[in-house]
Amino acid sequence: MRFHNTMTLQEAKLIARHLGLTLRRVSSGAYRVSSPDGNEAPAYYANDLEDAVDTAVEMVRKRERELHRTMGWAQNRVGNCRQSSC
């Protein structure tokens, strides 16, 4: 016998909130994942709740990769600077 646990909207919202994102169900029935400021640019719409949560996780991973890349660039720039004007 196999049991399939489906995620509730409240559980999905909690996961998104923990990741620093918001997840809501819009009037069309789709799920919207976005930053808390409501900026539409990085918003993602999904018809499936689990897809919306998976996307939220990937959005955070992408943000972390970009942050690490930026931090690595900044550290290299400071480490390579030998002039007082840097």
Helices (H), the chain: 9-18, 49-80
The 10 Å Cβ neighbour count of residue 57 is 14
> What is this structure's pTM?
0.69
The 10s digit of each residue's pLDDT in 2-52 is 455 788 999 999 999 999 999 999 999 999 999 887 666 678 999 999 999
Spatial distance between the Cα atoms of 46 and 12, rounded to a whole number of angstroms: 13
* Alpha carbon separation from 35 to 16, 19, 52, 59, 75 (Å, rounded): 10, 10, 13, 10, 27
